[in-house]
Amino acid sequence: MKIKADTLLSDLKETTTQLLKKAELLQQKPISVLNWKGNQDSWSVLECLEHLNLYGDFYLVEIEKSIKQAKNPAEPIFKSGMLGNYFAESMLPKAKLNKMKTFKDKNPINSKLDKKVIDRFMLQQKQLIDLLEKARLISLNTTKTSISISKWVKLKLGDTFRFFINHQIRHFKQIENLLKNE
């Protein structure tokens, strides 16, 4: 995938802003709705958000560190890496949401959660928007980040942003489905 770097960052910022607005609407829902689950093995709305928060705890720190250490200035075009593009695309929801296994340390199932989870998610989204703005000054191609499953595998910063935000899109689709079925 090739795209203007500015366009990519603007699109990702717009998506993040929309997710932030959706989270604000979730704050208005009763806690009983936010904790409702279809069955014991599925996640509630708050568990979906907590899962995203757990990933945010890793990726936001990793992205910020990479931006601070970046050596090369921004280029006009971002060219996705093969592995990074695969990871980013695999996160997007399909017509029928395909299930994926999550790592134990990122699985909030049966956690006792309250609306502070939404507040934390919203703070992370604001931090992400700030990082997307800072990334306009550096290379999305040569700046690399580690990924949560391996410190040895590094992705281009542009692909990390895409993966991270697509992962959020995926779980907001899951939240949408939960609220329809509740």
Residues facing 145 on adjacent strands? 155
Confidence of residue 105 (pLDDT cuts 50, 70, 90): low
Note whether 29 and 46 are within 8 A (CB): no
Note whether 49 and 106 are within 8 A (CB): no
Give me the CATH topology for the region 2-181.
Answer: Four Helix Bundle (Hemerythrin (Met), subunit A) (1.20.120)
Percent of the chain with pLDDT over 90: 79
> Does the pLDDT value for residue 159 go beyond 70?
yes
φ and ψ at 42, to 5 degrees?
-105, 170
- What pTM value is reported for the model? 0.92
pLDDT tens, position by position, 46-85? 999 999 999 999 999 999 999 999 999 999 999 999 999 9
Name the DSSP letter for residue 35: T
Domain ranges of the chain: 2-181
pLDDT at 107: 60
Residue type at 157?
Answer: L
Angle subtended by helix axes 157-181 and 116-134, to nearest 10: 150
**Lookup: tokens for 73:** 């200035």
pLDDT at 181: 76
pLDDT tens, position by position, 23-35? 999 999 999 999 9
Name the DSSP letter for residue 176: H
